[in-house]
Amino acid sequence: MSAYLKALSLVAPGYAMRIAAARLALRGYDGAQHGRRTSSFRRDLGSANAEIGQALPVLRARSRELVRNTFIGERVLSILSTHIVSPDLTIRITGRSATATRNAQALWDEWLQACDIEGETGLTGLLELAIRSSLEGGDSIIRMIDRPLREARPVPLALFVGEGDLIDHGRDSAIQTAGQTGRARLGVQLGDFDERLGYWLFATPPGEPAATLTTPVSALVPRADVCHLFRRKRAGQVRGVPVLAPVLMAARDYGDLMDALIVKSRLEASIGLMVKGTRPLGNIAQAADAAGNQNRIESLRPGMVNYLNEGEDVVPFAPAGNTAFEPVSRACLLGIAAGTGLTYHQLTGDLTQANYSSLRAGLIEFRRDLASWQWNTLIPQTLARIVDRFLDRAILAGRLRGTRADYRIEYVMPANEPVDPKKDLEADILAVRAGRMSPQDFIGAWGRDWRTVVDEYAEFMGLIDSKNLALDIDARNRTRTGQAVTEPATTEDANV
């Protein structure tokens, strides 16, 4: 026990013993010690929101700058957003009858092409934009806006995508509102158990000219009208952080290294001669005139010969090369790819050292993380709530019959492109035949709704049968090797 604790034990022995016990408990973990080796660790600010509250504006600005000016930021956002959401994302609505299912699905397919309040894209385009904004800035919102019937929309509902800047970051204290109690945390209105009650939103994004002329004032929008899209990493977290946050420094250092290498390579290509010498000057006036007329060299060009003065000496200019850049660059890019959840070849497009096994092994982890994004973030935070609002407004507008409980929702995520289609397809067929997966799961894994596939297949087979055609792709008549399928021998035939 230290001298301090001994003195403290005379006044507060219980408190001193607790401190001593805590120090003893820390001795078992090297990472909990205090010294030179652990001096680089920073003090924890506490909760997830305490960490995010101070860092989010800076992280958001630096992440966007990285996306604007480096291939790393743009590549990460493009790969992740197009894999999480793509045009073949399918949502199937099933009713209690075939007629109800057909009407609901047709109405949904019509509305998703007209859901953008700006009229520029469809639902998958809005979702991809929301995902990209969330990855770049930490979070994004989708507002569900009720529209009048006179707009002639399939359903009187429209969607608006906004960046996380629309959430008033400064609303961060206990707030009393008329008829409602609660507290705001980083612009999110919370209840007793941190349930979301609403969001304090600006009418105009900060940074717009209209917002800079006056002091913007946020208004509380009920949670039922807002989808808040972000990936939660800690319990109690109410705002997200950019996906580039862990690699901001590494990506910036890599960009600076590339700039330095390009400048150095240009200098190496500018091998020339420097001719130096002295020229006697008669007086101070001539020296001043020579200094004023000297042409300073601020750029180099290949094969340059620079005459510094009339003189006697020739000095070659040949900077040394450096061959250590490639391993340093590769190690840096590997770390950036790992920090953003991508594989090395996805980040760089470099397939020189890849093969089927390495690509497939790397994509397994990527696809697992992708599925987590889709099923734990995208669906509960946006898709499920949008479909519920769509069905509610469709029923209220008289476009669908029944209640919300009469309809069931199925989500078919975009298919993962196989590394080797033949090998992957054969493996899936074996899995179905062995009972490891159902035919419905097999078809769904390729991004199709199995009911649609069965209907299309039945329609196609019925047509070729009516035309009396025999195609090689017809598995009823041909094997995979193209041979005709023979009828199985009957018992009577075997006895003959």
**Domain residue spans of the chain:** 3-32, 50-61+113-243
Helix axis angle for 325-340 and 248-269, nearest 10°, is: 160
User: What is the rounded end-to-end Cα distance, in angstroms, of the chain?
Assistant: 101
pLDDT in tens, 188-226: 999 888 899 999 999 888 877 765 567 788 899 999 999
H or E segment and range at residue 71: helix 71-84
Q: pTM, whole model, 2 decimals?
A: 0.77
**Average pLDDT of the chain to the nearest whole number:** 82
What are the residue ranges of helices labelled H in 123-185? 123-137
Q: How far apart are CA 451 and CA 44, in angstroms?
A: 52
Q: How far is CA 326 from the centre of its chain?
A: 28
Tell which residue, 153, 162, 132, 165, has the closest CA to residue 56.
Answer: 165
Q: What is the pLDDT of residue 276?
A: 60
Which residue has better confidence, 495 or 441? 441
Cβ-based burial of 176 (10 A; exposed 0-12, middle 13-18, buried ≥19):
exposed
Between 98-112, 123-137, 298-312, 482-496, the lowest mean confidence (pLDDT) is in: 482-496
Determine the average pLDDT of the residues in 80-107. Answer: 91
Q: What is the pLDDT of residue 213?
A: 63
3-class DSSP assignment, residue 208: coil
Q: How far apart are CA 244 and CA 64, in angstroms?
A: 9
* pLDDT exceeds cutoff 60 at 255: yes
386 band by pLDDT with thresholds 50, 70 and 90: very high
pLDDT in tens, 259-286: 888 877 777 766 555 556 555 555 555 5
Beta-ladder partners of 294: none
